[in-house]
Amino acid sequence: MATVGSCSGHEEEDVLLDGHAYIGNKPNHTTAVDFTRNFERLVASFWRAPPPLPSTLYVYSPDISDPAAFSEAPRIIRMVRGFILFRVVIRSRHRFCIPMEDFDYFVYNVHGRALYRITNPAPLSFHDDVVGLLPRPFRTSARCSVAALVPTPNPSVFALHVFHSDIGRWASTQVVLKDPQQDFPIKIPRNARRLLSHYPSTVITIGGEGGTMGWVDLWRGILLCDILSPDPVLRGVPLPLPRVLFKPDGEISSDHFGCPKPFRRITFINRPDGRPCLRFVDLDVSCTRLPDEDESGRPSFWFDSWSVITWSNFKMSNSFDDWKNDCMPVHADIIILKEQMRMQLLEYKLLRKKPSQDSKSVSTNAERKLENLWVSQPTPSMLPPNIVYLIARAEFMHPKAYVLAVDMIKREVHGVTEFGTMRELAPDIICIPGSVSPA
């Protein structure tokens, strides 16, 4: 299978990109410049760090003296093999719920030092979750395609909106689900009927001659589409079933199927052996709502346990059987926490004391266990394939986030580091996985 990776001919390395760019001037060998719609210069620079350390995108304008002119922190939408799609908004009249037409969208080629503003899609309207990025095989430019797939009232028909940088405008067409994903192998309970409809929550890029992209409903499956085809259609690929469907107590609530991104994630990987594959990770958690609230008035929770499992898929056909477990589920209570890692977690105040039942004092336990740590947003590593990254916080919705690297084979904490501080209220994604060529 020809893939995106075959375009560059360069080995790629993992990065974890902060989901919001920083506003500041930090030029380096990747720095590139373009103009906003109002002809203000916009400068982008990428600073790479090896995971679990965060890589960072810096954005600033020498024509804007007041950083507050940026109405919100620039948001990274997608990163694919050294290409970054992000949006900025400057001097919006809207303080909240900024409309799509106020944003400037840019594609930044880290390797080629190229920055390109793409046409705003308005009056089209769609969420960042359904927008994907397809780099094109020109290393020294920002040539690319951007595509969004939007559901229609007909569950077998979707609206496909595509922007090609060499054409310079958006085009829309309706695409039909020609090959629906395989039926579920079990009966779906009434409270889990959310699984019967496809609502994309992220997009993966596979590439190849047809420009294959996949719109992923992380609870359900993938809709693959060759966006460069003159007559694109959709075909389904199922995902592993949510583990909550197999709970021994049989208690399933519709609350289990809210936003999937805190619990599930998928990546497409070009392996060194030439075999492309999908890697999927699922985080299963058990938590208890505490009777009090934290100092900010938010609800308070206690994590009782969590476990992680990963799958790989080398065939990418319409079959649940294509997914193979990489290893047995790794439960937090059996993960090895060496003394150096434990001390690091204590320094970050991640292993704090456990609240008592009346929430007015803490128990006599000196520290909480790893299985009681608040974790979310599992991310499978591209290389090495045995690492899963988890966002860790001292408590629910705490603004400061850390990354925990778990070795799924050795079943131990491989590393932990501070990732950043939340700059937007309740962001659904804190880190964006991606890859770049070695410096």
Per-residue pLDDT, 270: 83
SS3 readout for the chain: CCCCHHHHCCCCEEEEEECECEECCCCCCCCEEEECCCCCEEEEEEECCCCCCCEEEEEECCCCCCHHHECCCCEEEEEECCEEEEEECECCCCCCCCCHHHCEEEEEECCCCEEEEECCCCCCCCCHHHEEEEECCCCCCCCEEEEEEEECCCCCEEEEEEEECCCCEEEEEEEEEEECCCCCCCCCCHHHHHHHCCCCCEEEEEECCCCEEEEEECCCEEEEEECCCCCCCEEEEECCCCHHHHCCCCCCCHHHHCCCCCCEEEEEEECCCCCEEEEEEEEEEEEEEEEEECCCCCEEEEEEEEEEEEEEECCCCCCHHHEEECCCCEEHHHCECCHHHHHHHHHCCCCCCCECCCCCCECCCCCCCHHHCEEEEEEECCCCCCEEEEEEECCCCCCEEEEEEEECCCCEEEEEEEEEECCCCCCCCCEEEEEECCC
**Sequence letter at residue 318:** N
Per-residue pLDDT, 400: 87
Per-residue pLDDT, 360: 45
Per-residue pLDDT, 355: 54
The Cα 272–Cα 262 span in angstroms is: 29
pLDDT, one tens digit for every residue, the chain (439 residues) = 445 544 444 567 889 999 999 999 999 999 999 999 999 999 999 999 999 999 999 999 999 999 899 999 999 999 999 999 999 999 998 888 899 999 999 999 999 999 999 999 999 999 999 999 999 865 556 689 999 999 999 999 999 999 999 999 999 999 999 999 999 998 888 888 889 999 999 999 999 999 999 999 999 999 999 999 999 999 999 999 998 888 766 566 656 788 999 999 999 998 777 789 999 999 999 888 877 666 666 677 778 899 999 999 999 999 999 999 999 999 999 999 999 999 999 999 898 755 555 544 444 455 789 998 999 999 999 877 899 999 998 887 778 899 999 999 999 999 999 998 766 655 556 788 888 877 5
Give φ, ψ of 344 to 5 degrees.
-65, -45
Q: List, for residues 370-416, the tens digit of each pLDDT value.
A: 998 999 999 999 877 899 999 998 887 778 899 999 999 999 999 99
Task: Return left, alpha or beta for 311; rule: phi > 0 is left, psi -120 to 50 is alpha, else beta.
Answer: beta
